Amino acid sequence: MSDAIMYEKIGDIAVLAANNPPVNALGLAVRQGLIDGIERAEKDGAKAVLIYGEGRTFFAGADIREFGKPPAEPFLPDVCTRIEASPLIVVSALHGTALGGGLEIALGSHYRIAVPKARMGLPEVLIGIMPGAGGTQRLPRLIGIDKSLDVITSGRQVGAQEALEMGIIDKIAEGTPREIGLAYAQELIDAAAPRRATSEMPNPAPVDFDALYDAVLKKARGQLAPAVAVRGVQASSELPFAEGMKRERELFMELMATDQREGLIHAFFSERAVGKLPELDGVAPRDLNAIGVIGGGTMGAGIATSALLSGLKVTLLEMNDKAAEAARGRIAGNLQGALKRGKISAAQFTDLTETALNVATDYAALADADLVIEAVFEDMGVKKDVFTKLDAVCKPGAVLASNTSYLDVNEIAACTSRPGDVIGLHFFSPAHVMKLLEIVVADKTALDVVATGFALGKKMSKVSVRAGVCDGFIGNRILSKYRTCADYMILDGASPYQIDAALEKFGFAMGPYAVADLAGLDIGWAVRKRKRAEGMDPRARDFTYADKLCEDGNFGQKTGKGYYDYAAGAKARVPNPEVLPLIEADRATQGITPRAFTDEEILRRYMASMVNEAARVVGEGIAKRPLDVDVTLLYGYGFPRYRGGPMKWADMQGLPALLADIKSWAKDDPYFWEPAPLLEQLVAEGRNFDDLNKDAS
């Protein structure tokens, strides 16, 4: 027997306890251990078998780390089939998260019991595959097609109570999984309960699978797995069990071979790797109980909301009583949303708004804060004024954070007497919704201050990425480059609508011009004005059509018109007829003869500009690893998750072709398309971005 499955016989019950921390993933040793355990139980005179997991969870699924390597026997579907074929009664006792192959083991068992807090599901589509160990064949036989499709195509986790109501499990009981499993197995033995194989249940009644396939494909915005999973479920209705299993395997293997699977699994591991920084090993964060937030606009109120929801006490500072009360109202509004969605109770709402939140107008109110985040106007003079005041009132050791999205955190830190305590914490708006947090480490930021930034991110359930100081840090710096690329394509002949459509087809939730309308066109206008005032590089191209749009009062969704007209609502956007004439006039003034762009060229240019700038960001150490860029773009910029992030996408396309494109476009515009040294180096060495991730791990 392997150590991954521990065997024990208690009376008539053979106990198979999984012991493969941290999540009892079904790696080779576990699969072999289960087969050996069942065989031993059958020879051991047992009447029933109990399967449960030691540690924090039942099996959380197949071992994802084995994907992409040659599969090793025994395969998981065969393990489930062997468990089900046993003449002994097999009981699975679930706790933690019984996911994917874990739930499939339970479905192969004859009876299922769970602790009240157990969660279960078939989340395979979230990593680009579908259930491949009988999940699409057994679940529909057990609970019917509709409920199975809901669980399988969404990948959502179902709580024990709902699972009981759906018929996925037979019983819920309080106790450890071992206790409740043993008691249930004994109860079944005493009642002479029959062996009950899901695979022997009748085929579930069919539905209109073709219509469902189309609907699921459309909803998934280009992701294949949920729709392909519909075909698996279809097989459960139309084919005998063994043939259905074959069909499931074929579909599973097809998905396994896709870039989408590779991209999604890269995203899964990358979002877990971003917080693991060798320099923080053994560094304890500072205390974090009470925080201050300066500025109660949309951003400040969002940060305060997120902090309150994570259990922190918050003092929000505004300039006067009126603004402070408006901020309180904004935060209460955000928390109302959380109440409506069932995230907090009415009692918690009252506690958060009345006890945990304090609004103030005097800096002295921040004297006891462990950490203060300023979210005031994006202007160096204003920020310096705030930090000078914070330096005067905050207690020693308090972390002083700026939520700046572009400005130099070194310069901000230098105006205090404690630059080691200063850090950038760049939240994304709305801050209580968006998961990304850029933790901007300045030259003198102390390591335990960095660790405190990550601890805050964890408390707030953010995905935190370390960034260095530069104009725009990781995300906005790269954004500025690919937005400029799109703007240049418009000057040269593309339309904003064609660009948006091409990128939405690629999988972005919204194209860059729809995003600009949402964010407010006045933001870009202010940046352009600032850059012109500072003096633009003469080699950079400039344009006026976007300024004219703003001069006419079109700031996007908030004014009803921008690149699009929103008269019929945000979703029913239609092109604003004023836009193309402005663009044409700009081209005419600049003497540009417009040319046609294919969607493919739009995508290639847009992505190449993104990847090239990202390579600079990594090369300069602003991002420590390519995966930090991927996670930033996935969580803050709507990059389609199933493409893994720009660096992973570039690796999968092949870096030499990307570099060749860049070099060919550099002939016309050497300033914009100058290849990043890191990209040239990787191509010369025959390596890719993921090799750098591996070097760093």
Which of 53, 100, 140, 295 lies at the binding interface for ligand 3H9 (CB under 6 A)?
Answer: 100
Q: Is 104 known to be catalytic?
A: yes
Which of 4, 52, 124, 313 lies at the binding interface for ligand 3H9 (CB under 6 A)?
Answer: 124
Query: To which H or E segment does residue 238 belong?
Result: helix 225-238
Minimum separation from the CB atom of position 26 to ligand 3H9 (A): 7
Residues 240 to 259 in contact with ligand 3H9, rule: CB under 6 A: none
Is residue 282 within 8 Å of residue 668, measured between CB atoms?
Answer: no
Is residue 390 within 8 Å of residue 363, measured between CB atoms?
Answer: yes
HEC letters along 395-438? CCCCEEEECCCCCCHHHHHHCCCCHHHEEEEEECCCCCCCCEEE
Distance, CA of 587 to CA of 537 (rounded, Å): 20
* Site size for ligand 3H9 (CB under 6 A): 23
Minimum separation from the CB atom of position 276 to ligand 3H9 (A): 7
Which of 33, 53, 128, 135 lies at the binding interface for ligand 3H9 (CB under 6 A)?
Answer: 135
Of 514, 502, 497, 492, the residue nearest 598 (C-alpha): 502
Which of the residues 54, 66, 73, 104 is marked catalytic? 104
Distance, CA of 391 to CA of 372 (rounded, Å): 11
Q: Which amino acid is at 71?
A: P
Determine phi and psi for 62, rounding to 5 degrees: -60, 160
Minimum separation from the CB atom of position 60 to ligand 3H9 (A): 4
Segment contacting ligand 3H9 by CB under 6 A, of 7-15, 30-38, 98-106, 198-206: 98-106
Nearer to ligand 3H9, 61 or 640 (CB): 61
Nearer to ligand 3H9, 62 or 308 (CB): 62
Distance, CA of 17 to CA of 95 (rounded, Å): 13
Nearer to ligand 3H9, 134 or 626 (CB): 134
Distance, CA of 215 to CA of 258 (rounded, Å): 21
Distance, CA of 389 to CA of 384 (rounded, Å): 9
- Give long-range contacts, CB 8 A cutoff, 24+ apart: 412-415: 412/380, 412/383, 412/384, 412/387, 412/442, 413/387, 413/442, 413/443, 413/444, 413/445, 415/384, 415/387, 415/388, 415/391
Locate 182 and state its tokens: 């043993």
Nearer to ligand 3H9, 99 or 212 (CB): 99
Nearer to ligand 3H9, 65 or 539 (CB): 65
Nearer to ligand 3H9, 16 or 107 (CB): 107
Minimum separation from the CB atom of position 137 to ligand 3H9 (A): 11
Distance, CA of 7 to CA of 34 (rounded, Å): 9
Minimum separation from the CB atom of position 108 to ligand 3H9 (A): 12
Which of the residues 84, 124, 318, 378 is marked catalytic? 124
Segment contacting ligand 3H9 by CB under 6 A, of 130-138, 224-232, 456-464, 669-677: 130-138
Q: Which amino acid is at 306?
A: S
Determine phi and psi for 576, rounding to 5 degrees: -80, 120
Segment contacting ligand 3H9 by CB under 6 A, of 34-42, 122-130, 322-330, 415-423: 122-130
Residues 61 to 80 in contact with ligand 3H9, rule: CB under 6 A: 61-65, 76
The answer for residues whose C-beta is within 8 angstroms of residue 601's C-beta and 6 or more apart is none
Nearer to ligand 3H9, 137 or 445 (CB): 137
Minimum separation from the CB atom of position 248 to ligand 3H9 (A): 9
Q: Which residue has the tokens 């006067």?
A: 320
Dihedral through CA 401, CA 403, CA 405, CA 408, nearest 10?
-30
Minimum separation from the CB atom of position 69 to ligand 3H9 (A): 13
Which of 80, 83, 127, 164 lies at the binding interface for ligand 3H9 (CB under 6 A)?
Answer: 127
Which of 101, 419, 472, 626 lies at the binding interface for ligand 3H9 (CB under 6 A)?
Answer: 101
Q: Per-residue x/- mask for ligand 3H9, residues 257 to 276, rule CB under 6 A?
A: ---------------x----
Locate 49 and state its tokens: 């078998």
Tell me whether the omega of the peptide bond preceding residue 285 falls within 30 degrees of 0, making it cis.
no
97 binds ligand 3H9 (CB under 6 A): yes
Minimum separation from the CB atom of position 120 to ligand 3H9 (A): 11
Which of 60, 185, 233, 647 lies at the binding interface for ligand 3H9 (CB under 6 A)?
Answer: 60
Q: Is 124 known to be catalytic?
A: yes
407 binds ligand 3H9 (CB under 6 A): no
99 binds ligand 3H9 (CB under 6 A): yes
Nearer to ligand 3H9, 23 or 309 (CB): 23
Is residue 222 within 8 Å of residue 505, measured between CB atoms?
Answer: yes
Nearer to ligand 3H9, 229 or 357 (CB): 229
Minimum separation from the CB atom of position 266 to ligand 3H9 (A): 12
Locate 480 and state its tokens: 């500025």
Segment contacting ligand 3H9 by CB under 6 A, of 125-133, 159-167, 283-291, 304-312: 125-133
Minimum separation from the CB atom of position 466 to ligand 3H9 (A): 16
Q: Alpha carbon of 450 to those of 400, 463, 563: distances in Å? A: 11, 14, 40
Distance, CA of 569 to CA of 151 (rounded, Å): 32
Q: Per-residue x/- mask for ligand 3H9, residues 15 to 34, rule CB under 6 A?
A: -------xx-x---------
Q: Which residues bind ligand 3H9 (CB under 6 A)?
A: 22-23, 25, 60-65, 76, 97, 99-101, 104, 123-124, 127, 131-133, 135, 272
- Which residues are tagged catalytic? 104, 124
